A and B are shown apart, each in its own frame.
Chain A
């Protein structure tokens, strides 16, 4: 009764880049077919490539073009070397400059545009994260082209699939622009792998205007030893029924017993039970883990938008009529305050 997750995406893992994309792009842009190229804008933090960029790289690979990865930041050389070893990356361009720390769109977007111009990229991709979502639309506007947000599939070089209306409808859109600027839903594409044998050449990125009216001041990151929410195999989420920040500890305890990431509904975040960055849904994180456990979450449209592609969904709720039970593979009707500790105890054994 469990549908495999996105069979098309899994199948394509083992397949060479599809030939149709080359053919169709040649048809579309025959004038410049000699330099069909894709630009991947790499997100990184603390000298490590962000997981979302690995998913975006897999999506980029489906276009069948030569992939150039753009890495920018202070001391970006180490990250560039890491990126050069990723499977599918043909070359890496590096903008080693402190101006690119913290991904300020005011400087990053002109860099993306300058790189596009130099290499003649027809596709520009990044993960649909706070980073990609801030930079790519700005870059698209600078180039006078549309952006295609949060794609879940690539049908051809100019046709993409993306969810709209909180994932309640799936739109297939075709771009008529010469350059396709795309953010990628990370859960819809597997992560690219490292291929240590062949490191791609690394060269300097073209220079771009680095003057910025905006300065980065500080950040306040929620510290956690748990797996990252967006890429965790198991996610345990709490909702309004937890009733308080103290009670929300029960969710952390269960998560820790399972090695899971913690998520939350908007109600739990708004009520201050947990941090903003844990919100799962249309306006928070989109997750698609192997197992999603919703505890005391009713299942509003906006929450379902963020988790309904999970492989197995478990719902624990005292209201047997909650909408969450309509999509849950396993439902347990009961009091979360009784069930949560019992589950934690039994799993810890």
Chain B
């Protein structure tokens, strides 16, 4: 393997800056008419794939493999194609959309997504799969680990730095609870991105135009022979308990006095 094929996952989620609302029936959060965008961790995944290509082209003497192709994959409703076009505009070469209808998409769970990805990976045979460490909607943080388990591939989760050191070797610096940890592993592998891995680029207008012409293949879970039946049933979704807005104090003395005598926490 002197060239590297990278597969990246992108999820369409409610934009991170939106203040979400629980629907009246307490069955889900309101999604209609709400701004969506690519999951921030997935933007980092796409960016890292593109940077690996740039890095390895610029430095051919390093002996690290050239990135031959970047494939962006999204599982979700028809609108997930917008997310894939964003990935293409950032530098992915082609896209695969596993289309599920709106209703199923609302309850498409990490295990099902990992199984869909496995089916695609068995066809596309990438050497490296980069996913976000978690989606900011379900906050599950499972898909990458599950996928690595299903494929029996090594995993480098919460990546802070990725270094392809040779045809079959990779170093990953991970963000762990007390600091950072470095692992060395083999390819193929699954990596999940942490916030500090990179700063994603904005797609330029010419690249957005070009992305419209890049290939995007549609398929269904049935095409991949994957059963996406949810294993978790959502009983209800509620608003978190509201905190009472507190009071303003005028001085440090007043603050310390309140903390000691009113709140009793000092």
Residues of A bordering B, CB below 8 Å:
1-3, 45, 102, 104-106, 109, 129-131, 133-142, 144-150, 159, 162-177, 212-222, 230, 234, 258, 266, 269-270, 275-277, 282-283, 285, 290-291, 301-302, 308, 311-314, 320, 325-333, 339, 342-343, 346-347
Q: Are A331 and B259 in contact (CB under 8 A)?
A: no
Let me know if A217 and B183 touch, CB within 8 A: yes
Taking a contact as CB atoms under 8 Å apart, the answer to whether B149 and A176 are in contact is no
Q: How far is the CA of A148 from the CA of B235 in the complex (A)?
A: 14
A106, B185: Cα distance in complex, Å:
11
Asked whether A173 lies within 8 Å of B238 as measured between CB atoms, the reply is no
Can you list 20 residue pairs at the A/B interface with Cβ under 8 Å?
A105-B145, A137-B110, A141-B114, A141-B147, A146-B111, A165-B20, A169-B20, A169-B22, A169-B29, A172-B234, A177-B231, A213-B186, A220-B181, A234-B265, A269-B196, A312-B265, A313-B243, A329-B263, A330-B248, A342-B252
A130 vs B252: C-alpha distance when bound (angstroms): 37
Interface set, chain B 142-169, CB cutoff 8 A to A: 142-150, 153-158, 160
The answer on a CB contact under 8 Å between B259 and A291 is yes
- Give the distance to chain A from B105, nearest Cβ to Cβ, in Å: 15
The closest CB in chain B to the CB of A277 belongs to: B179
Residues of chain A contacted by B194 (CB below 8 angstroms): 283
B72 to chain A, nearest CB (A): 22
- Residues of B with C-beta under 8 A to A172: 234-238
Q: A150-B139, A283-B195, A312-B263 are in contact. Are A301 and B186 (CB under 8 A)?
A: no
Among B22, B111, B239, the one with the most A-chain Cβ atoms within 10 Å of its Cβ is B111
A-side contacts of B232, CB under 8 Å: 146, 148, 173-176
Cα-based distance from A328 to B147 in the complex (angstroms): 41
Given contact pairs A142-B149, A168-B19, A218-B181, A332 touches B249 in the complex (Cβ within 8 A): yes
Of A136, A146, A166, A222, which contacts B179 at CB under 8 A?
A222
Q: Which residues of B, 83-114, contact A by the 8 Å Cβ criterion?
A: 109-111, 114
Among the listed stretches B53-61, B122-130, B170-178, B209-217, which one makes contact with chain A, having 4 or more residues with CB under 8 Å of it? B170-178
Contact A149 B140 (CB under 8 A): yes
Query: Smallest distance from the beta carbon of A334 to chain B beta carbons, Å?
Result: 9
Known: A105-B155, A176-B231, A277-B178. A164 touches B247 (CB 8 A): no
Is B25's beta carbon under 8 Å from chain A? no
* A-B pairs with lowest CB-CB distance, top 5: A141-B149, A137-B145, A141-B146, A146-B231, A329-B246
Size bracket, chain B contacts: 35 or more
Residue among B140, B147, B171, B250 with most chain A CB within 10 A? B140
Contacts of A176 in B (CB 8 A): 231-233
Residue of A nearest to B109 (CB): A146
Contact between chains at A138 and B149 (CB < 8 Å)? yes
Tell me, in angstroms, the Cα distance from A147 to B157 when the chains sit together. 17
Chain B interface residues (CB < 8 Å from chain A): 14, 16-17, 19-20, 22, 29, 41, 109-111, 114, 133-134, 136-150, 153-158, 160, 171, 174-186, 189, 194-196, 231-241, 243-253, 255-256, 258-259, 263, 265-266
Task: Given A167-B240, A175-B233, output 12 extra A-B contacts at Cβ < 8 Å.
Answer: A139-B149, A140-B142, A144-B111, A149-B139, A169-B240, A173-B233, A176-B231, A214-B183, A266-B195, A277-B176, A329-B244, A346-B252
Cα separation A2 to B178 with both chains bound (whole Å): 32
CB distance from B242 to the nearest CB of A (A): 9
The answer to whether A130 touches B158 (Cβ under 8 A) is yes
Which residues on the B side are within 8 Å of A168 (C-beta)?
19-20, 29, 239-240
Once bound together, how far apart are the Cα atoms of A141 and B150, in whole Å? Answer: 6
Decide if B20 touches A330 in the complex (CB within 8 Å).
no
Instruction: Establish whether residues A331 and B175, one from each chain, have CB atoms under 8 Å apart when the complex forms.
Output: no
* Cross-chain contact B154 with A213 (CB below 8 angstroms): yes
Tell me if B185 and A214 are in contact (CB < 8 A): yes
| Residues of chain A with a CB closer than 8 A to B249's CB | 330-332
A2, B144: Cα distance in complex, Å: 40
Closest A residue to B239 using CB positions: A169
What is the distance, in angstroms, from A153's C-beta to the closest C-beta of chain B? 12
Alpha-carbon separation in the docked complex, A164 to B134 (Å):
11
Q: How far is the CB of A25 from chain B (nearest CB, A)?
A: 17
Contact A165 B137 (CB under 8 A): yes
Q: Check if B178 sits within 8 Å of A222, measured CB to CB.
A: yes
Q: Given A146-B110, A165-B137, A346-B253, are A327 and B243 neighbors across the interface (CB < 8 Å)?
A: yes
Contacts of B137 in A (CB 8 A): 164-165
**Which chain B residues lie closer than 8 Å to A266 at the CB level?**
195
Q: Which A residues lie within 8 Å of B196 (CB)?
A: 269-270, 276
Could you say which residues of chain B place their CB within 8 Å of the CB of A102?
181
* A141-B114, A175-B231 known; A282+B136 contact, CB < 8 A: yes
In the complex, A148 Cα to B189 Cα: how many Å? Answer: 24
The answer to whether B179 touches A276, judged by C-beta atoms less than 8 angstroms apart, is: yes
